[in-house]
A and B are shown apart, each in its own frame.
Chain A
Amino acid sequence: MDRQLKRVTVAVLLMFLAVFTSTTIITVFQVDALNGDSRNTRTLNDSYSAERGPILVNGQAIAESKPAADKYKFQRVYANPQLYSSVTGYFTLNQGNTGVEGALNSYLSGTANDQFLTKVNSILTGQKPKGGSVSLTIDPKVQQAAWDALGNNSGAVVALNPRTGAILAMVSKATYDPNLLASHNSNDVISAYKKLLADPTKPLINRAISGDLYYPGSVFKLVTTSAALDSGKYKPEDTFPNPSSLTLTGTSTPINNAEGGSCGGQATVSIADALRLSCNIPMAQLGAALGGDVLKKYASAYGYGQKLSIPMRVTPSIYTVGDTAQVQLSAFGQFEDRVTPLQVAMTSAAIANGGSLMQPTLVKEITAPDLTVIQPFQQKVFSQPITPATSATLTQLMINNVNSGAASNARISGVDVAGKTGTAQNGDGKPYTLWFTGFAPANDPQVAVAVVVENGTSFGNAVAAPIAKKVIEAVLGK
């Protein structure tokens, strides 16, 4: 009987071993995925009753948790809610979170892996758990200037430091008050959310990085010109025929230059002048000559189609390779070209930074409640779409755009501004999407900016360029 007993003992040990293993797998190896599951209400409940860390701009809290009398213990409060809503996002009880509140939730709530020691410490010392604080790269002066300059327009402004990738301003209009969604009364939150969702101005969409994306129009000509110059196939002074109308290859559809007529009135037109005067026909010819694959390669290097988090996820901009006619259209930002304002600002930032595109980010620093730095500023090269030489040439062309070309309304006295306007068509009879992108000072870039205004009836130079000018002036302290 002893032999059988020994075997049964081994069987019992194996049964217990199985259970030891299964519980270990759950609590050690799968714990992050399980805690992150959207059906896990425990994680949510935890995140309310812990003191959530603040979101800071220049040392001032734009979102913070203040003691509340109800069972959740803390109430999220947004100072200057509309101004910063496109950055902070909202934090609701159980209806989801967006913006930095959503993307850095684990740090703000103190549940990130990096904060494990802090957690252990608070258990040992008996202190209430507290979340980390997130410091943003936003410059409040620039954010305010962008907000004011955009006025009542629907649209977005993004300003970057081209040397570091730090996002200095990010404004999206129309917008909303995140305090409305921070209420602890779920019914209030749901009714406020439904109202915002039904609002025709679409206030919940952060147009700077997401939404339906925009046609870039002429600001895409920066990508086309980059491809022409950087591939070594063309020089700025190379010329194309200069008709006043061009029938797209293989179709009967004619295209025109935005101002009508030919581009500058000569028999031929150089790439430099085509960019300066923002002409469509020579760009279409250039695009067709380069081919869709080359354009796509440069678009991708600038960030089109790439995954990007700032730390919110940015909707990738789109460049699609089509047939020759479609490549011709895409070369001046129509066809299926779709972009975020951030992508457009990144294009300028790369040109400003010697062709090196820095990864854009909103996070300056994440610190634990005891002020130790959990995550310092992470400066990272995103890509190198063009060479320094190409960037120098393009910079000069963009300065000409502002000084003597189609982007004249961005001029600032005493500062060389490099820029490019755009007026994208959204289909027959529909209002335009107005663009300006650029950087300044051209010889020592401090800021790269992209401005988009929806429902435009005039040109990018008339509406978007003056907004960008005010943002640049705010950065340069003018």
Chain B
Amino acid sequence: MTSPDAVTQIVRPATDTGALSTFTSTIRLRLRVPAKLRNLELVLLAFALAIVGASIALVELGALGSVQGPVLALGAGLGVITLIIHVALRFAAPQADPFLLPISTMLNGLGIAEIYRLDISKNLSGWGAAGVRQIAWTAMAMLLALAVLLLIRNHRVLQRYSYIAMFVGIVLLLLPMLPGIGQNINGAQLWIHVGSFSFQPGELAKIALAVFFAGYLVTARDSLSLVGRKFLGMRFPRVRDLGPILVIWLAAMVVLVFQHDLGMALLFFGLFLVMIYVATGRLSWVILGLALFIGGVLVASRLLGYVQARFESWLDAFNPKVYDAVGGSYQIVQGIFGFAHGGLIGTGWGRGSPGIVPLAESDYIIASLGEELGLAGLFAILALYLLFVSRGFRIGFVGQDDFGRLLGVGLSFVIALQVFIVLGGVTRVIPLTGLTTPFLAAGGSSLVANWIIVALLLRLSDSVRTQPQLVVE
């Protein structure tokens, strides 16, 4: 045990002195130490809010020529909600990680600024404007995150519900295929539609599945890791233990084949592989899983036109035939032109023409930001994601209970993988899929899901710090 908290240092000698002094000194230190974290968070939050405010003002200066009031006022409203979350943290999770809230606030705000900028170029305003809807969704997502933070006071509660989480996750994944509420947007069947309200449940499914994976793997890891036959220097699992991975693989293939969502399939299958690897420490699971997935995708690419088209647009994007084809590489190529137009330092807020790219405010928000903020801005955004993920991984490294560690790693890895799938797709590292960039992209489902992840990571990081470090589970 290397880094004993100030609290634990005090707790032990406290038995020697009077009860009252122990009590007061514990109180004093309990308040002082976390206040340091929360004060750091407040400073960072103020910084993030200042940058977001300046971004919105610069968007208006760049695109309209003068700073207007209304959107800034709405943005300030969001700022107030983040401050409420901050205050709530002081009471509900005083030792939570101080970086998570400012980073997500900043990313969310940058996304709003860019979406608003695209609204301006399309002359949209009111509820027709994606930016205004994004602000409303952000408010809702932040309040939900606050609710999660206040309701779940101990993350171990989640472990009890891991099989319910599995059920919820699978239902959420399959919901869009139900006739009546399922909706096909841009060739992918991944939305549900009730009245005028549409939602992409797959985003929420990734949380439910992370909870299920963590809970299941903590209990099943021994049977998954200790037995099996050695082959090529690696211990491969017994056939009877293959059940879960085959079920997850089947679910991924269903998403791929029936919902036409390569990105989502890759996302939650990748999440499962990483979590099973972390839990069991056996690379054979990853190799087996990757082989299954790649095999499935290769077969699908032969049988499913859309997967094949995705591969063609990826490998041969600049070919005029592929470029001009319906569902071809027009979007990829125009997005890359956007990055190139931005160059190193970008055109500046409101000065580029990101609106040329289809879905510039959702799937292609990162290309829009790349054009206006340049490679420099892009690197800054990526650094924010990297920092966010590293804070999540920290829970895995210093956490005490394996369920919490696995869940923390899973939730932060899912963000990292999603960023990679989107950016890798947009910049032609991998085939393009239709995932959203966490926090940045326009879309309520994605915002709600990612803010709930923030709440869970805040809760996990708080329990990591408040746990008495001498108690070994």
Contacts of A7 in B (CB 8 A): 277
Q: B42 interface residue, CB < 8 Å from A?
A: no
Within the complex, the shortest CB–CB distance from B344 to chain A, in Å, comes to 6
Contacts of A46 in B (CB 8 A): 341
Within the complex, the shortest CB–CB distance from B341 to chain A, in Å, comes to 4
Q: B468 interface residue, CB < 8 Å from A?
A: no
Give A34 to B338 CA distance when docked, in angstroms: 9
Contact B340 A19 (CB under 8 A): no
Known A19-B423, A19-B429, A22-B427: A8·B337 in contact at CB below 8 Å: no
What per-residue 1/0 map shows which CB atoms of B278-303 lie under 8 Å from chain A? 11010000000000000000000000
Contacts of A26 in B (CB 8 A): 336, 339-340, 427
Partner of B427, one of A2, A13, A19: A19
> In this complex, what residue of A is CB-closest to B423?
A19
CB-CB contacts below 8 Å: A40-81 with B: 40-43, 45-46
Give A22 to B279 CA distance when docked, in angstroms: 32
Contact B382 A39 (CB under 8 A): no
Contacts of A16 in B (CB 8 A): 382, 385-386, 416, 419-420
Contact B353 A31 (CB under 8 A): no
Contact A34 B336 (CB under 8 A): yes
Partner of A15, one of B342, B348, B416: B416
Q: A35 interface residue, CB < 8 Å from B?
A: yes
Partner of A27, one of B323, B374, B390, B393: B374
Q: A37 interface residue, CB < 8 Å from B?
A: yes
Within the complex, the shortest CB–CB distance from B205 to chain A, in Å, comes to 21
> In this complex, what residue of A is CB-closest to B318?
A37
Contacts of B348 in A (CB 8 A): 123
Within the complex, the shortest CB–CB distance from A17 to chain B, in Å, comes to 10
Contacts of B413 in A (CB 8 A): 8, 12
Known A18-B429, A31-B343: A8·B424 in contact at CB below 8 Å: no
Contacts of A152 in B (CB 8 A): none
Give A19 to B424 CA distance when docked, in angstroms: 6
Within the complex, the shortest CB–CB distance from A395 to chain B, in Å, comes to 52
Within the complex, the shortest CB–CB distance from B207 to chain A, in Å, comes to 19
Interface of chain A, main secondary structure? helix
Contact B420 A23 (CB under 8 A): no
Contacts of A9 in B (CB 8 A): 390, 393
CB-CB contacts below 8 Å: B319-368 with A: 323, 333-334, 336-345, 348, 352-353, 356
Partner of B281, one of A3, A19, A35, A41: A3
- Count of chain A to chain B residue pairs whose CB atoms are closer than 8 Å in the complex: 114
> In this complex, what residue of A is CB-closest to B379?
A20
Contact B396 A1 (CB under 8 A): yes
Contacts of B318 in A (CB 8 A): 37
Q: A253 interface residue, CB < 8 Å from B?
A: no
Contact A27 B278 (CB under 8 A): no
Number of A positions contacting B (CB below 8 A): 35
Q: A24 interface residue, CB < 8 Å from B?
A: yes
Contact B416 A12 (CB under 8 A): yes
Contacts of A24 in B (CB 8 A): 375
Partner of B396, one of A5, A31, A45: A5
Q: A125 interface residue, CB < 8 Å from B?
A: no
Give A229 to B319 CA distance when docked, in angstroms: 52
Contact A27 B339 (CB under 8 A): yes
> In this complex, what residue of A is CB-closest to B422?
A19
Contacts of B182 in A (CB 8 A): none
Contact B340 A23 (CB under 8 A): no
What per-residue 1/0 map shows which CB atoms of A423-443 lie under 8 Å from chain B? 000000000000000000000
Give A400 to B278 CA distance when docked, in angstroms: 95
What per-residue 1/0 map shows which CB atoms of B114-143 lie under 8 Å from chain A? 000000000000000000000000000000
Give A39 to B328 CA distance when docked, in angstroms: 14
Contacts of B342 in A (CB 8 A): 27
Partner of B378, one of A3, A23, A39, A123: A23
Please indicate which of the listed interface residues A15, A30, A35, A41 has the most CB atoms of chain B within 10 Å of its own CB: A15
Contact B277 A4 (CB under 8 A): yes
Contact B420 A19 (CB under 8 A): yes
Q: B85 interface residue, CB < 8 Å from A?
A: no
Contact B378 A12 (CB under 8 A): no
Within the complex, the shortest CB–CB distance from B349 to chain A, in Å, comes to 13
Known A1-B278, A26-B339: A42·B416 in contact at CB below 8 Å: no
Please indicate which of the listed interface residues B318, B402, B419, B427 has the most CB atoms of chain A within 10 Å of its own CB: B427
Contacts of B389 in A (CB 8 A): 12
Contacts of B206 in A (CB 8 A): none
Known A19-B424, A23-B339: A8·B274 in contact at CB below 8 Å: yes
Contacts of A20 in B (CB 8 A): 379, 382
CB-CB contacts below 8 Å: B389-427 with A: 389-390, 393, 396-397, 402, 405, 409, 413, 416-417, 419-420, 423-424, 427
> In this complex, what residue of A is CB-closest to B396?
A5
Q: A371 interface residue, CB < 8 Å from B?
A: no
> In this complex, what residue of A is CB-closest to B338?
A42
Contacts of A42 in B (CB 8 A): 337-338, 341, 352-353, 356
Please indicate which of the listed interface residues B279, B336, B352, B374 has the most CB atoms of chain A within 10 Å of its own CB: B336
Contacts of A19 in B (CB 8 A): 382, 419-420, 423-424, 427, 429
Within the complex, the shortest CB–CB distance from A10 to chain B, in Å, comes to 11
Q: A28 interface residue, CB < 8 Å from B?
A: yes
Contacts of B402 in A (CB 8 A): 1
Contacts of A123 in B (CB 8 A): 345, 348
Within the complex, the shortest CB–CB distance from B290 to chain A, in Å, comes to 12
Contacts of B416 in A (CB 8 A): 12, 15-16
Within the complex, the shortest CB–CB distance from B267 to chain A, in Å, comes to 13
Within the complex, the shortest CB–CB distance from A90 to chain B, in Å, comes to 24
Within the complex, the shortest CB–CB distance from A58 to chain B, in Å, comes to 37
Contact A5 B397 (CB under 8 A): yes
Partner of B278, one of A8, A23, A30, A45: A8
Contacts of A22 in B (CB 8 A): 423-424, 427-429
Give A30 to B336 CA distance when docked, in angstroms: 10
Give A138 to B375 CA distance when docked, in angstroms: 43
Contacts of A23 in B (CB 8 A): 339, 370, 375, 378-379, 423, 427
> In this complex, what residue of B is CB-closest to A43?
B341
Please indicate which of the listed interface residues B340, B370, B390, B429 has the most CB atoms of chain A within 10 Å of its own CB: B340
Contacts of B428 in A (CB 8 A): 22
28 of the cross-chain contacts (CB-CB < 8 Å) are A1-B281, A1-B405, A2-B397, A4-B281, A5-B397, A7-B277, A8-B274, A8-B278, A9-B390, A9-B393, A12-B393, A15-B417, A16-B385, A16-B419, A16-B420, A20-B379, A23-B427, A24-B375, A26-B336, A27-B340, A27-B374, A28-B344, A30-B340, A34-B336, A39-B337, A40-B337, A40-B340, A42-B337
Q: A15-B420, A27-B339, A35-B341 are in contact. List 16 more A-B contacts (CB 8 A).
A: A1-B281, A3-B281, A4-B277, A5-B396, A8-B277, A13-B386, A16-B419, A19-B419, A22-B424, A22-B429, A26-B339, A34-B337, A37-B318, A40-B340, A41-B356, A43-B341
Q: Name the 3 nearest CB pairs between A and B, nearest first.
A: A34-B340, A22-B427, A15-B420
Residues of A participating in the B interface, judged by any CB pair closer than 8 Å: 1-5, 7-9, 11-13, 15-16, 18-20, 22-24, 26-28, 30-31, 34-35, 37, 39-43, 45-46, 123
